[in-house]
């Protein structure tokens, strides 16, 4: 990320702003749109003329934060923790986050091997109550496992309750999951989920807007939810009371034109009251993974069967090409076998297979993976019979 040469000024500026401006600050987003990163950074760093839309007191507070910001130090800390910073417009940036307008993240800190952009293309959020019931945990884990087995990426917030059950369900199925945190992604929160979040970073992705070492606050949890909603094709709420934060995610998804789904619970359960309220509105009732996929799949696959793979193999990253080359031509193979052929770990293989799934190259069959018919046709077309 930092390497042996000078970081890109745009990247440095956005890392600086991630330390100064709070997530979801639409005034800060408007500054970036109207003045550009360079000018906003210059005024904050040099105690220049106040930018419009804030009081003198707030401007002074921003200047105080700017005086403590050190983007090169943040990049060094991030590199040592296995993190990278992804800017809007970069190759790994998920373009759907731009739907947030001026509330779009300044950038995202990412831990994990896969491409965030590729994984987000076929992703579903599964969220719900922290103090969930046994029913809620069971439904969240089952939905996540089923989605993972169908080649979908499960996104949640890493919290106790439904979030944790969803992440574990996806991991247990040998699948892909993303945790979006409301703190620095080098500092797992809640602490009781340190082992889980570490495992997600090994097999999946841990993502957040806050710079290394930053702590969560109530407002940051709420603002984090807009990222979950924007990143995914749809949001499933498993259990939620009337004022649950997961309802914020669902309503953000509705505003963004994403699918919103709810899992019904007992009529007498206060933890399902918020879900039932959603279902009385525009949310769709779902009870199993097939119903979720039927709904979100209506948005259209990235690589429909009649078109074949979107990217030529030569344009894939080397690590992805190695995994693709290790797949047998006419049968399914388990991740362990593919890892042996690609000379890498099962975790990396799973990460790359979900990228290839998003591009239409492979499909999952139970616990194994196989080249799609379109991928095999494209190979025969370029190189003759297999």
**Which secondary-structure segment (H or E) carries 140?**
helix 134-149
- Asked if 51 contacts 40 with a C-beta cutoff of 8 angstroms, the reply is yes
pLDDT at 382: 46
Q: Which two tokens stand for residue 360?
A: 């239409």
Contacts of 383 (CB under 8 A, 6+ apart): none
Distances (CA, A) of 64 to 44, 240, 284, 365: 9, 39, 47, 55
Distances (CA, A) of 79 to 107, 115, 157, 194, 269: 16, 17, 23, 19, 46
Extract the residue ranges of the chain whose pLDDT is less than 50: 1-3, 299-308, 381-386
Topology of domain 112-299 in CATH is Rossmann fold (3.40.50)
pLDDT at 3: 45
CA angle at 185 for the pair 184 and 189, rounded to the nearest 5°: 80
Of the candidates 77, 66, 52, the one whose C-alpha atom is nearest the C-alpha of residue 16 is: 66
pLDDT in tens, 269-298: 999 999 999 999 999 999 999 999 999 985
pLDDT in tens, 207-255: 999 999 999 999 999 999 999 999 999 999 999 999 899 999 999 999 9
Topology of domain 313-383 in CATH is Arc Repressor Mutant, subunit A (1.10.10)
Distance, in Å, from the CA atom of 71 to the CA atom of 15, rounded to the nearest integer, reads: 5
pLDDT at 5: 65
- List % helix, strand, coil for the chain (3-state, nearest 5): 50, 10, 35
Three-state DSSP state, 261:
strand
Q: Would you list the domain boundaries of the chain?
A: 9-95, 112-299, 313-383
């Amino acid at each position: 990320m930092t390497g042996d040469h000078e970081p890109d000024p745009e990247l440095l500026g956005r890392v600086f702003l991630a330390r100064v401006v709070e997530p979801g600050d639409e005034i800060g987003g408007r500054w970036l749109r109207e003045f550009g990163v360079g000018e906003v950074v210059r005024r904050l760093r040099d105690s220049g003329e106040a930018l419009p839309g804030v009081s003198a007191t707030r401007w002074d507070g921003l200047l105080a934060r700017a005086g403590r910001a050190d983007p090169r130090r943040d990049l060094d800390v991030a590199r040592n923790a296995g993190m990278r910073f992804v800017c809007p417009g970069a190759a790994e940036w998920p373009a759907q986050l731009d739907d947030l307008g001026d509330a779009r993240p300044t950038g995202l800190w990412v831990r994990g091997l896969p491409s965030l952009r590729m994984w987000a293309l076929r992703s579903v959020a599964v969220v719900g109550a922290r103090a969930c019931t046994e029913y809620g945990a069971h439904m969240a884990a089952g939905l996540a496992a089923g989605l993972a087995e169908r080649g979908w990426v499960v996104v949640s917030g890493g919290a106790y309750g439904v979030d944790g059950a969803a992440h574990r369900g996806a991991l247990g199925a040998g699948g892909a999951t993303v945790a979006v945190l409301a703190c620095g992604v080098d500092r797992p929160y809640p602490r009781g989920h340190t082992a889980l979040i570490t495992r997600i970073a090994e097999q999946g992705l841990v993502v957040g807007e806050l710079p290394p070492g930053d702590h969560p606050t109530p407002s940051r949890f709420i603002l984090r939810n807009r990222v979950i909603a924007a990143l995914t094709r749809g949001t499933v709420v498993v259990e939620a009371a009337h004022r649950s934060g997961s309802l914020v995610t669902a309503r953000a998804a509705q505003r963004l034109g994403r699918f919103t789904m709810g899992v019904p619970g007992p009529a007498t359960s206060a933890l399902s009251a918020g879900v039932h309220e959603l279902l009385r509105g525009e949310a769709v009732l779902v009870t199993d993974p097939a119903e979720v996929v039927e709904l979100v799949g209506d948005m259209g696959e990235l690589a429909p069967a009649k078109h074949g793979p979107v990217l030529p193999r030569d344009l894939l990253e080397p690590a992805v090409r190695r995994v693709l080359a290790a797949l047998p031509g006419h049968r399914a193979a388990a991740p362990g076998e593919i890892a042996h052929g690609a000379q890498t770990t099962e975790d990396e293989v799973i990460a790359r297979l979900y990228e290839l799934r998003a591009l239409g190259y492979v499909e999952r069959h139970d616990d194994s993976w196989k080249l799609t018919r379109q991928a095999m046709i494209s190979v025969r077309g370029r190189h003759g019979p297999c």
